[in-house]
A and B are shown apart, each in its own frame.
Chain A
Amino acid sequence: MTQLITEVVHPMDKWVRPERMPHIWCPGCGLGIILTALAKALEKAGIDKRKICVVSGIGCAGRIAGYIRVDSFHTLHGRAIPFAVGLKLTDPERKVIVISGDGDLFAIGGNHIIHAARRNIEITVICVNNFNYGMTGGQVGPTTPELAKATTAPYGNIEPPFNLPYLCASAGAVYVARWTTLHVRRMIESFVEAINKNGFSFVEVLSPCPVAFGRRNQMREGLDMMIYFKEHSEIRNFIDPKEAPIILGEKIIVGKFVDIEGKKGFTERMKELIKMAKGRALKID
């Protein structure tokens, strides 16, 4: 006998909040791919769901925290990392994943990311780099390539951008990778590795923003930037990230650049400190 299917459950429902769909992202945006990749990575990472927190700042990428079904926090502009540090310190077993945009993490939040990397606190930061401030209408940011056009750089950007993997590696990150939304399988693998890394891990994902960035830079259609990624990407694992700047029209170097073992993380050192200090405690009833 044929049975009627009365309820359709999406295989990713465990990890997303279907009651929040449809999402707010524009057609052609890469964030849907990244959300799926994160959900798949969480599934693959094999961690107790209660021990996962996802934290974001604001902006388009910041909305991921509202769609992923774990304890999730949509924090202030630029402040996802210190918020994540607070969450991590209260339970070092917790896997805390920050996912946010390039402006959020490297302009207003730039101070926090270098210090989190310096401390080697055991959190994962995923930066969705769409080369501009998409949600607010395409303003220039710290990752906008030189000469690219933006609402606030109508003549072309005169500022050199940050090379994010190089910056994070220099500040002390023990895991650094860069992929584009075209490299889905590798991106998921990197997310899993980063989440399970016992130190500060960083993954940059280059993501298309046809509506705000693409249309000012001859990549107006959703597919245009994916084709650009396809034509320009070159995988070079463990290349010195210094050699991987993003320059318009030139090769985009992607890959896993840094994966260091044996460097103690902040909460590990904190546990050692507490163990030492407890021995010196005054007795108070």
Chain B
Amino acid sequence: MALRLPQVGGIFIQMEDEIASINAVIGASWGGAKSMTATSGPGFSLMQEGIGYAAITETPCVIIDVQRGSPGTGLPTLIGQGDVMQSKWGSHGDYEIIALSPSSPQEGFDLAIECFNLSERFRVPVVMLADECVAHMYERVVIPPKNQLKIINRKKPSVPYDEYLPFKPEDDLIPPMACAGDGYDIHVTGLTHDERGYPATNPEAHEKLVRRICEKIRKHSDEIIKLEHFLMEDAEIVVVAYGAVSRSAKRAVKLARENGIKAGLLRLITLWPFPERIIRELSSKVKGFVVAEVNSGQIFREVERCSAGKTKLELVSKLGGALHKPDEILDGIEVIAK
């Protein structure tokens, strides 16, 4: 980024710490730019207060978190997937964010654009929850011509100065966003605020605001959620995986098929909002879910919640430092197949 951005008229700055980075990103977004930062687990922890501020002020921004084995300083430059819940619940309070998980360098490119599009469309911080393996991976990446890329920009107000209410939503629950210099004398605060953007620290205003910033994502979850279905048409056992682990899972599913087990892979590209509906629907059809992840079962808990006891579940957990071998996931598939 430091090399490339200035060449194309962008701006790169290495701030003094991650707290400064996320706040500069938020400031830049209100300055009218598309802005992003990238970090790993400890830095992501430091950014959480800023992410909450971005959520309540509805600031479009993108945060890339390359997960390492954690907690603490943990395993620098070794894989982990332990920041799944943190990406959703890391800041204090109720809010919804969007998190996407790439499983290849190509997807790192594609989803970076998708992250910006989603953050601009929904005025929400979007996390690209990558992992160390994908981040260090070398593979062929096709960069399409600029005119073939779908780019979404934030809605702007078109009303006169006196009529603009910066936090008054339209039907889609998203307010048009005036930025610094647009001539609206906007005021932005991290306090609970009314539609004018002014502090309104009372239960009614809080209910209205927090309910809306959650609902604007939940209401559009079908539009947001992206999944890859691999050999899922007749699958009786579904492996749920994301990020680098999904590559081992794909191999495990093929091996299971060779052994006569009808396995399929549901690869989560969108982690948040969680694809509740599809897990719920599958849970009444399939024999079981195998969840493979490099943490102690963070997405497993979500699958457990959504399947609500209707099907068998198997967690294949590794705690960090190494990716699953396909055989380890295959073992999980065979447990359900028995």
- Residue contact A285 to B146, C-beta cutoff 8 Å: yes
- Residue contact A274 to B19, C-beta cutoff 8 Å: no
**A76 interface residue per 8 A CB criterion:** yes
Most chain B CB atoms below 10 A, which of A50, A70, A73, A280: A73
Stretch from B30-38, B64-72, B242-250, B303-311 that touches the partner: B30-38
- Residue contact A89 to B7, C-beta cutoff 8 Å: no
Shortest Cβ distance from residue B335 to the other chain A in the assembled complex, whole angstroms: 47
Q: Is the interface of A mostly helix, strand, loop or mixed?
A: helix
- Residue contact A111 to B9, C-beta cutoff 8 Å: no
Shortest Cβ distance from residue B305 to the other chain A in the assembled complex, whole angstroms: 32
Q: Which of A17, A75, A91 contacts B31 (CB 8 A)?
A: A91
**B137 interface residue per 8 A CB criterion:** no
- Residue contact A94 to B31, C-beta cutoff 8 Å: yes
Please report A residues at the B interface, Cβ cutoff 8 Å: 17, 19-20, 49-51, 53, 55, 58, 65-66, 69-76, 79, 81-91, 94, 111-112, 115, 270, 273-274, 276-278, 280-282, 284-285
Interface footprint category on B? 35 or more
Query: How long is the Cα–Cα vector from A53 to B182 in the complex, in angstroms?
Result: 11
**B265 interface residue per 8 A CB criterion:** no
Shortest Cβ distance from residue B27 to the other chain A in the assembled complex, whole angstroms: 3
Q: Which B residues touch A274, using CB under 8 A? A: 6, 9, 11
Shortest Cβ distance from residue A244 to the other chain B in the assembled complex, whole angstroms: 26
Please report B residues at the A interface, Cβ cutoff 8 Å: 6-9, 11, 13, 15-17, 19-21, 23-33, 35, 49-50, 53, 143, 145-147, 179-191, 196, 198-199
- Residue contact B50 to A76, C-beta cutoff 8 Å: yes
Q: Which A residues touch B29, using CB under 8 A? A: 86
Query: Quick one: given A85-B13, A115-B20, are A73 and B7 in contact (CB under 8 Å)?
Result: no
Q: Which of B17, B20, B27, B198 contacts A73 (CB 8 A)?
A: B27
Shortest Cβ distance from residue B103 to the other chain A in the assembled complex, whole angstroms: 25
- Residue contact B7 to A71, C-beta cutoff 8 Å: no
Q: Which A residues touch B30, using CB under 8 A? A: 71, 73, 83, 86-87
Q: Which of B21, B35, B145, B198 contacts A285 (CB 8 A)?
A: B145
Shortest Cβ distance from residue A146 to the other chain B in the assembled complex, whole angstroms: 29
- Residue contact B6 to A86, C-beta cutoff 8 Å: no
Q: Which of B8, B13, B188 contacts A74 (CB 8 A)?
A: B188
Q: Which residue of A lies closest to B10 (CB)?
A: A274
Query: How long is the Cα–Cα vector from A274 to B10 in the complex, in angstroms?
Result: 8
Shortest Cβ distance from residue A280 to the other chain B in the assembled complex, whole angstroms: 6
